Amino acid sequence: MASPWPRRPRLVAGNWKMHKTPAEGAALAREFVALAAADPAGKGCEVAVCPPFTALAAVGEALRGTGVHLGAQNMHAETHGAFTGEIAGSMLAAVGCRFVILGHSERRHGMGETDEQVAKKLRAALRDDLTPIVCVGELLAEREGGKTTEVLVRQIAAAYAGLDAATTRTTVIAYEPVWAIGTGKVATTEQARDAHRVIRATLDQTVGAGVGSEVAILYGGSVNAGNAATLFAENDIDGALVGGASLEAASFWKIAAAAR
Ligand code: PEP
């Protein structure tokens, strides 16, 4: 199991998706670290970047000793074996990853990843000493059809059923409405707050009373330097999973600074 967080940490994590070669990723990481060193405004907020697999080693080297964490965007649930093209959690830990994003909507909806697979990966990540960032969120049609709560309850219950409270507390959840990812349409603070409350209540029901209030829940979906502070002012939003705006050091730093 990954080492426990202090209760409800502030966390801003950058999901670089399929962007950056090792050299480009290391340069971006160095630029970000230089900004952070020059302006300690973001101290008090944990920061992670999640490059593609091929850039993990180079970015990890650039981040060494800086306090900025390294994360991956996906993993396989098995420890090793005949799984061509896949990466095990232990391999990610061996190159210095602390985090792994699981169940991102681009995997659930683009590559058919199921609730069951996400649940298996969650257990595997914990086994491999990684801190999972478990992504959940509804499609636009599901929101418009009044099914947001149903979807969130299903995704969280499937992922967390059978986990104990102590383990659950070491994980991080990202609420990412699919209609907000990469679209420029950020959820309102109220929409995000309501979703985070549904997630906390579902953790209480699935794992145990009180757990929901102790798990860090990030909002993700078109977060940028201009809207981050408004989102972070909401007590139930503990940070952000950031896609596009994490590919530019200055904007990612402004988001981290807003989260402290
Ligand atoms: C994401 O990929 O998790 C994400 C939130 O992307 P963006 O910030 O670009 O909407």
Kindly indicate the confidence band of residue 38, based on its pLDDT and cuts at 50, 70 and 90: confident
Contact yes or no for 39/253 (Cβ under 8 A): yes
pLDDT value for 9: 83
104 is catalytic: yes
For the stretch 106-125, pLDDT in tens is 999 999 999 999 999 999 99
The mean pLDDT value of the chain amounts to 95
How far does the centroid of ligand 1 lie from the alpha carbon of residue 136, in Å? Answer: 13
pLDDT in tens, 64-75: 999 999 999 999
Return the residue whose CA atom lies nearest to atom 7 of ligand 1: 243
pLDDT digits (tens, 9 = 90+) for 228-254: 999 999 999 999 999 999 999 999 999
Atom number, ligand 1, closest to the C-alpha of residue 181? 10
CB 13 within 8 A of CB 49: yes
The set of protein residues with a Cβ atom below 6 angstroms from ligand 1 is 15, 176, 181-182, 220-223, 241-245
Give dist(CA 128, CA 43) in Å, integer.
28
Average pLDDT of the segment spanning 190-202: 98
Query: Which residues are CB-contacts of 184 (< 8 A; sequence separation ≥ 6)?
Result: 222
pTM: 0.96
Choose the catalytic residue: 46, 69, 76, 104: 104
Residue located nearest, by CA, to atom 1 of ligand 1: 243
Kindly give the distance from the C-alpha atom of residue 219 to the centroid of ligand 1, in angstroms, as a whole number: 10
Instruction: Look at the block and give the residue holding tokens 């405004």.
Output: 41
Percent of the chain residues topping a pLDDT of 70: 96
Query: Is 69 labeled as catalytic in the residue annotation?
Result: no
The letter for the amino acid at 81 is G
**Those residues with Cβ within 8 angstroms of residue 43's Cβ, 6 or more apart along the chain or in another chain:** 260
Closest ligand 1 atom to Cα of 183: 10
Give per-residue pLDDT as tens, 43-96: 678 999 999 999 999 999 999 999 999 999 999 999 999 999 999 999 999 999
Q: What secondary structure does DSSP assign to the chain, as a single string? A: -PPPPSSS--EEEEE--S---HHHHHHHHHHHHHHHHH-GGGTTSEEEEE--GGGHHHHHHHHTTSS-EEEES--BSSSSSS-TT--BHHHHHHTT--EEEES-HHHHTTS---HHHHHHHHHHHHHTT-EEEEEE---HHHHHTT-HHHHHHHHHHHHHTT--HHHHHT-EEEE--GGGTTTS-PPPHHHHHHHHHHHHHHHHHHT-TTSGGGSEEEEESS--TTTHHHHHTSTT--EEEESGGGGSHHHHHHHHHHT-
